[in-house]
Amino acid sequence: MNGVIVQDTLRTNWKQTVYWGFGMGILGLYLVAIASSSEIMASYGPLLESLPPAMLNVIGISDVRMFTTTEGMISSGFVTYAMLMLSVYAVTIGLNITTNEEEDGILDIVLSLPITRTQVITEKLIAFALLSLGVIALCIIFPLIGVAIFNVEVNIGKVILSILTVYPGILLIMGVTSLIGTVARRRLTTIGLSAGFIMASYFINFLGNAASESFAATLQQFSFFYYTNGETVILDTFNPLTSIVLIIVASIFAGLSVMMFNRRDIGL
Amino acid sequence: MRGSIFIETLKQTWKQMLYWGLGLASMGLLIVLMVPVFDMQQMSELLKNLPPIMLAMIGVGKDLDLFATAEGFVAIGFFGKFALIFAVYPVVMGMRITANDEDDGIMDMVLSLPVQRAWVILERFAAYTVTIIGVVAMIYIGMSVGVAFSSVELNMPALAAVIIMLIPVLTFVMAFTMLTATIVRRRQVAFGIITAFVVASFMIQTVGAMAEGTFAEPIGWISFFTYYNAGHILANGLTATHIVSLLALSLVLIGLSIQRFEQRNIGI
């Protein structure tokens, strides 16, 4: 029956989604509480406005608006790190597509049921994409609760959109982990290679920020962190096309993992 | 035989140590080679005029002269920003001490051998601590190679202190992971808890530094990342109380892990 694996995956993994969403949401709420402090905003504002753009770049602020507006503060303090932290979640769900069951020796039993391999992996990918959307939803809801509690003046649309930019990044890592898992099979190898991919992307992004006049700035455009930090939303330079491209790339990785999974033996 | 688990663990882990060490050392090498093109090089005079709040945000403290140097930027930019990445290795290794074997259903086999539970934990912990030292040593070697092959002048003894401080911090994270795993048994639950702990510690420290003078600043002191302040170490050298505190806490966590592991049934 179509959709049965989606339902089962949602049923067995919703708790993990709630824990992650709750944890990350609380961090977002904490950031809103900090951003609500007029002392902080007052101390950063005039100071940052007096600094030249090159100086701001050095300390990781591409524009003064990232620290002089509440939505900018939330984005630079929460969304930037949320992508790195949710990378762990994305690897975890990527492992749940095939690797964990294969390593535990139960995937052959799952595949003995009257379902195709394509159906198994595709429905799991869909289910985990929905679950990660749930995590993002909680990441949005908690800061908004903070905005209401602390009576913070903020552009809510920008806050929501900047947090949403993280979602394509999660899908990308999930797709990459799923593909690595279907190729490498072993859990530890998959974790190591996925972690390597994330670390390399983070590093490339760091180099691009630190050396904006060198080839590193060009290289930075190959890092998914470059497109998932919410900064462009705050600076009104957000291009939805970048998110769409990330989702397409994630879909390609997912498609490749379906293809690889269909072509090989299952570990017992 | 005493030491056999230690040796066996090292035999099984040296490749992972090598991969992680090479990856992180390559990053250190690249950072050093790219020092001449970092924007920071043109900013030293400007940095000297920064007010304390901005220095706190960068993680420099009040000793700015060092930050205006190449090793200052490497220490604060690389070791400061990558603290969360470094924490992944001890979490992975900490899970291997008991959680992975127990979740795979082979811990009962290990314990059927004539070895005491306490020694299984102690020897594995010691072996993984050696691999942490190995990874940290490789980071130092990577940076030293970078210095040798470039015209960059770096104060390597000062950087060595920043690198060495990684050992007690990472050991603490591994001890915390081990304790969590011995309490909750299940790998996924333990992984979730330790991830939440590391992520929350990182955010608390980061936000505490950004929001100097608010309630977030004293809260920041409960984060173990606060005791890995690269700028402070570079300026003042290693702080004995921080090292001793982290190592003492690690010993307490090891003791609690042994006590818990000896008193409960093993999952099969």
Domain-wise residue ranges, chain B: 4-263
What's the rounded mean pLDDT across residues A234-244?
A: 87
| Amino acid in position A94 | G
Q: What does pTM read for this prediction?
A: 0.84
Q: Let me know the angle formed at the C-alpha of A159 by A199 and A147, rounded to the nearest 5 degrees.
A: 120
pLDDT, tens digit, 9 for 90 and up, residues B234-256: 878 888 999 999 999 999 999 99
Quote the number of domains for chain A.
1
C-alpha to C-alpha distance for A65 and A60, rounded to whole angstroms: 13
Interchain contact, B191 vs A92, CB within 8 Å: yes
Closest by alpha carbon to B168, among B123, B136, B202, B124? B136
Indicate whether A243 belongs to any domain: yes
Closest by alpha carbon to B211, among A39, A69, A71? A39
**Helix or strand (DSSP H, E) at A259:** helix A240-262
Chain A CB contacts of B188 below 8 Å: 16, 92
Average pLDDT, chain A: 86
What's residue B63's pLDDT?
53
- Determine the structural domain holding residue A122 and report its residue range: 4-262
What's the rounded mean pLDDT across residues B4-25?
A: 93
Confidence of residue B191 (pLDDT cuts 50, 70, 90): confident
Indicate whether A268 belongs to any domain: no
**Helix or strand (DSSP H, E) at B248:** helix B240-263
Indicate whether A205 belongs to any domain: yes
pLDDT, tens digit, 9 for 90 and up, residues B150-189: 888 888 888 899 999 999 999 999 999 999 999 998 888 8
Residue in chain B lying closest to A23 (CA): B196
Q: What is the ipTM of this complex?
A: 0.78
Interchain contact, B207 vs A34, CB within 8 Å: yes
Indicate whether A37 belongs to any domain: yes
B176 to chain A, minimum CA–CA distance in Å?
18
What's residue B64's pLDDT?
56
Interface of A with B in 204-233 (CB under 8 A): 206-207, 210-214, 216
Residue in chain A lying closest to B59 (CA): A59
Lowest mean pLDDT among A19-28, A226-235, A248-257, B58-67: B58-67
C-alpha to C-alpha distance for B202 and B185, rounded to whole angstroms: 25
What's the rounded mean pLDDT across residues A253-268?
A: 88
What's residue B241's pLDDT?
92
What's residue A57's pLDDT?
57
pLDDT, tens digit, 9 for 90 and up, residues B116-160: 999 999 999 999 999 999 999 999 999 999 999 888 888 888 889
Interchain contact, A27 vs B203, CB within 8 Å: yes
Indicate whether A109 belongs to any domain: yes
Indicate whether A267 belongs to any domain: no
SS3 category, B208: helix
- What's the gap between Cα B235 and its chain centre? 20
What's residue B249's pLDDT?
95
What's residue B211's pLDDT?
66
What's residue A107's pLDDT?
87
Contact A226, A220 (CB under 8 A): yes
| Amino acid in position A202 | Y
Indicate whether A199 belongs to any domain: yes
Average pLDDT, chain B: 84
From residue B175, how far is each of A246, B87, B230 by CA, in Å? Answer: 38, 12, 22
pLDDT, tens digit, 9 for 90 and up, residues A66-112: 666 778 878 877 887 889 889 999 999 999 999 888 888 888 888 88
Confidence of residue B55 (pLDDT cuts 50, 70, 90): low
